[in-house]
């Protein structure tokens, strides 16, 4: 059976695209993969998504998923292994060895945050362990927090949190940061940011929520939250030989169109995208409109 559109990924970008397509009469199939809901499922509290003063990332995604299903969007809980071209169309190959044919494909597989892999990290995810200061910073107003990492993202997270938290510990395993010089200058001008160098977190401690971290130096820091910023990996391995990627593995797109006609990309999987839910949703909307034009509907 030939499908007009197969969307790979059930995060906010993919689901937004499915809603727009379904409302236009194009009924897409969404391949949900191993992580339906995407990174928002790991976000404690979202306070910057229009229409909600505060909502958990998981609830926001479940509402979006439900909205898509009510419009008739089909969800397939499988993993995609490849997207070879076939007679001008595409075969979306699944881990179960099944195939789905499509005239157009939207890649919205997002990116995954690298984890520390230490005791307490999994236990306290959404309970003080976060990968997004913009999402979860406000709930730690007036409290001490820690940021882990030494690149631009870690420094930006620390700078953002310095306007909210009482104190920010920036913990880096080396004695120099990898962040740009201008970012470092701004960081060192902040009186409530303290750099902790040549140190690594070995344990995240808490009861119902995070209340401290232990370092490999033996020191214990009292903090209400830990913001992990040690890197992000886009989920593009399955298309690395199909579409053009940048040096970090992100899909290079022009208004969501990739280097292969008929294959589109939206959200955190794209090169240079702002890593915010509302922006990813907007890219999903744009991708839906571009796909409609490609199919000759709009």
pLDDT surpassing 90 at residue 43:
no
Please say whether the beta carbons of 178 and 150 come within 8 A: yes
Report pLDDT for 275: 78
Q: How large is the average pLDDT for residues 131-148?
A: 93
Does the structure show a pLDDT above 90 at 204?
Answer: yes
Residue 293's pLDDT is 97
Closest by alpha carbon to 112, among 209, 199, 31, 9?
A: 9
| Catalytic site residue from 32, 44, 93, 136 | 136
**Mean pLDDT (whole number) for 180-194:** 95
Q: Longest Cα pair distance anywhere in the chain, in angstroms?
A: 63
Residue 140 has pLDDT above 90, yes or no: yes
Q: Give residue 261's pLDDT.
A: 96
The stretch 130-145 carries a mean pLDDT of 92
Domains of the chain and any CATH numbers? 2-112+232-294 (3.50.50.60), 115-228 (3.50.50.60)
Backbone angles phi, psi at 85, to 5 degrees: -80, 145
- Residue 143's pLDDT is 98
Question: Would residue 254 show up in a list of annotated catalytic residues for this protein?
Answer: no
pLDDT of 1 strictly over 90: no
pTM: 0.78
Please say if 44 is a catalytic residue: no
| Residue 86: predicted pLDDT | 84
Asked if pLDDT for residue 284 goes beyond 80, the answer is yes
Task: Decide if 135 is catalytic.
Answer: yes
Whole-number pLDDT of residue 260: 97
pLDDT value at 274 more than 80: no
- Closest-CA residue to 290 (of 282, 37, 268): 282
More confident residue, 22 or 132: 22
- Which is catalytic among the residues 32, 44, 93, 135? 135
Catalytic residue among 32, 44, 93, 132: 132
Q: For 51-108, write each residue's pLDDT tens digit.
A: 998 898 899 999 999 999 999 999 999 999 999 998 889 999 999 999 999 999 999 9
In this structure, the strands spanning 263-265 and 99-107 are parallel
């Amino acid at each position: 059976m030939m499908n007009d559109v197969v969307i790979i990924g059930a995060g906010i970008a993919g689901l937004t695209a499915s809603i727009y397509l379904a409302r236009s009469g194009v009924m897409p199939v969404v391949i949900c993969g191993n992580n339906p809901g995407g990174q928002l499922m790991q976000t404690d509290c979202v306070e910057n998504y229009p229409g909600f003063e505060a909502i958990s990332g998981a609830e926001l995604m479940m509402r979006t998923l439900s909205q898509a299903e009510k419009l008739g969007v089909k969800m397939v809980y499988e993993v995609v292994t490849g997207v070879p071209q076939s007679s001008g169309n595409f075969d979306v190959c699944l881990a179960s060895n099944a195939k789905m044919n499509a005239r157009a494909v939207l890649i919205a597989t997002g990116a995954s945050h690298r984890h520390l892999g230490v005791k307490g990290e999994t236990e306290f995810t959404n309970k003080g362990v976060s990968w997004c200061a913009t999402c979860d910073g406000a709930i730690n107003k007036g409290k001490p927090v820690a940021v882990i990492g030494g690149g631009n993202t870690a420094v930006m997270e620390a700078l953002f949190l310095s306007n909210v938290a009482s104190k920010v510990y920036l913990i880096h395993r080396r004695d120099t940061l990898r962040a740009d010089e201008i970012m470092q200058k701004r960081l060192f001008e902040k009186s409530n940011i303290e750099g902790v160098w040549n140190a690594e977190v070995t344990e995240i401690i808490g009861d119902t929520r995070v209340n401290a971290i232990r370092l490999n130096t033996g020191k214990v820091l009292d903090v209400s939250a830990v913001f992990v910023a040690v890197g992000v990996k886009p989920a593009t391995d399955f298309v690395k030989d199909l579409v053009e990627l940048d040096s970090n593995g992100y899909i290079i797109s022009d208004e969501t169109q990739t280097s292969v006609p008929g294959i589109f990309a939206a959200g955190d999987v794209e090169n240079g995208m702002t890593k915010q839910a509302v922006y990813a949703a907007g890219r999903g909307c744009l991708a839906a409109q571009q796909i409609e034009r490609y199919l000759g509907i709009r």
